[in-house]
Each structure stands twice: as C-alpha cells, then as structure tokens.
A = this chain, B = another copy of it.
Amino acid sequence: MGKSGVPNNDEFYMKIALRLAKKGLGFVNPNPPVGAVIVKDGNIIGRGYHTRFGALHAEREALLDAKKKGVDVSGATMYVTLEPCDHYGKTSPCTNAIIESGIKRVVIAARDPNPVSGDGIKKLLKNGIEVKVGVLEDEAKEVAKFFFKYVTTGLPYVTLKYASTLDGKIADKIGSSKWITQELRKEVHKLRSIHKAVLVGAETVLKDNPILNVRLPKMKFKNPDVVVLDENGRVLKKVIADIDKFELFNPNYDRRVIIFSSNQCQNIEFPEYVKVKTPENLSVENILKELAKEGIDSLLIEGGASVFSQFLPYADEVYGFYATKVFGKGKSIFEHLEIPVEESEIPFEIQNLKISKNMKELMVVMRRCSQGLFSTYVKDTSMVRG
C-alpha cells in the first residue's frame, strides 16, 4: 500500500495511463495515442501523454512533469500504455530517457507492433530495468486500434457510418439524409474528431454541400481531413468554376481536402490545402493505400449509398444509427450492393448499443469479428512514429 492508502495495483495505474492516452485521440495520428504515469511509494509523481503529432512521446512528457515538480524519479515505476520506442527519430529513443532517469521498473500494456520502433523491452531489460508486459493489453490495443491496423497492414482503419430509418432507408427521394437522426448526431461528431479523415462521394458534395467539420461545444478537437471520391471529375469541374461555393473548401476549417479523380488537371492551381490525386486505379483498395501514404491511419466513411456499398467490405467498424422512423419507399443504405444471398452475412459482431435520451434513436456499433482482426494483417514496416 502506498502512503495515500490506494492499493499499489498495476491495473489501477495503467487505467490512469490509458485515460491520459485517450486525450491524444484525434491529435496524434498517424502516431498512436499513448499515456504514461510515474509512481513512487504509491504516489503519482509524473503524468504525460502524446499530445499531438510531432510532440514529445508520453514517456518523456511524464518524466518532464516529474522534473517540473522537482521530484526524483529514481527507483520509481513507469506505467506506459505502449512499449517505449528504441528508435532514433526526431528525438533519441524513449528507452534512453527512461534508463537515464533511474526508473527501476516499467509496466507496459501492449507491445509496439511496429518493428521500426525497435525492441524497447529488450533494451530496458538489458539495462537492468524490471519489465512487466500485458497489463490491460486489450484496452491499450483498443485505444490505439487505428495505429495497430495502420502499422500492421499499411491501410487505414475504416469506420463506416450510416443513419437510416427502421426500414433501412437513408434518404427520401430527394437524397437528403441530414435530418434522419437528431440527438445521436453528437456521436457522429465524436467519431469525426478521432478520425484522421472523412470520406464522401461526389454526389454528397454536390447535393448536400456538407461542411463535415466537428461541432462539439466546449471541447478541444481537430477537424479531420476530407476525402472526396470524384471518379468522373464532377466535383472538380464545379470547384474549378467556383471554389467558394463549397463549404468543404473553406480554408477556415484548417484541414486538407484530398480529391480522387480520373480527371487530369495538372494545369489548375488549387490552394495549398487541396490535393488532387489521379491514380490509374481507383479501386477501394488502392484508394486506401494512397491515403495511408498521406499519413491517414483512420478513415470515416460518411456516404452516400454508392460509397457505403463500395466500402462495406473494407470496414473494420460500422456505426448504424437508426431512427424510429419509417420511409417505406426511398433510398436504401446498401442498394448498390450486388451480393449473392449466401454471402449476405457480414463478418461483424454487435459491440455496443446506445439509445438517445428521448428513446427515439438507436446506435448499433458493429466490429469486424475479433478472431484474426490483427493477426491476419500482413506486416508492413514502412511507417514509423514521428
């Protein structure tokens, strides 16, 4: 027992580290969110987390915090949600900082799946530091799920989100879906705030002129980049004619806009934050690869119907928002899917349910079955934490 009377329990402190890690969600991509806590004699003497891409790693933040407080960390235990890196990047390896500090024990939730990060655990052990691995490992992998998929497959984590009526309609005949759910819209904005990018089809841009920013009162967040699938160049054509007409291209939202198109338009000058990509192959797989190269570790698919059908087979998670409404006739969510009946079962498990306050809306979260979620991914070592 520590002085404070709190049990000196590894899980207890790891939970605090995980809570810190989550603060980095949406700011650190494509790095993982990581949290760290330094404990001595049962007291927390340092806290830190990776705050944004390019900033200090969590371990160094925690050490800095302790230093600022003027406390000596020698002999202390560090709890960190991901294996410390042993890699020379913008700074020297975190392992070095830990070893130099005099910390004698390091508790790690999950191993870093990225071989480029080096073998931090081995380095610590070699330097006489006691290491324990696997405390709240599943929780840590959950918090850093974008990173785990990204570094092990070279593809972004794909989340598909739709809002539909009970009978699976996403829109009436005029194609507007904005107003199907109301209270649970906040969940959509939370999703946007943690993903590196949001993807929509040309149809959605032309019909709805969406902003696709994050609208969460009283919260700090970063707007995700926007990706537009514009196969036939319909959006490009209109943007070239009058870019100011489109909310997406408003520079105030401080984000990149990436347009995939088959149209060549090398002569057109776009603002710096707009990038037009014209790969030969506009398959979903190739688009995902191209986005990974842009540092996009997580992608939220926001429709419309044709885009939903294209991306469903690549989704890691699906958020279905159902309103207690019935359209009868109208546009169906996956109406562009052409699948044989025997393949209609999607490999997803229901993970989470939420009902709106007024009990009129339902959120169903579905996750690709965990069996083999990460294990089937092919290793790709081209990505390094920055």
Contacts and interface: CB of A to CB of B under 8 A. Distances in A.
B166 A166 contact: no
B324 A328 contact: no
A242 interface: no
Given A168-B167, A169-B168, A350-B362, A329 B337 contact: yes
A246 interface: no
5 contacts: A165-B168, A167-B333, A326-B334, A326-B337, A327-B344
Interface string A302-338: 0000000100100000001011111111001111111
Contacts of A67: none
Nearest to A356: B350
Contacts of A169: 168
A341 interface: yes
B339 A349 contact: no
A164 B334 CA distance: 14
Contacts of A345: 323-325, 360
A355 B348 CA distance: 13
A359 interface: yes
Copies of this chain per assembly: 2
A169 to B, nearest CB: 7
Contacts of A361: 350
A205 interface: no
A366 interface: yes
A353 interface: yes
A343 B351 CA distance: 32
Interface string A192-220: 00000000000000000000000000000
A267 to B, nearest CB: 40
B350 A359 contact: yes
A332 B332 contact: yes
A360 B353 contact: no
B166 A320 contact: yes
A44 interface: no
The 8 closest A-B pairs by CB, nearest first: A168-B168, A328-B337, A167-B168, A349-B359, A325-B344, A167-B333, A172-B341, A167-B334
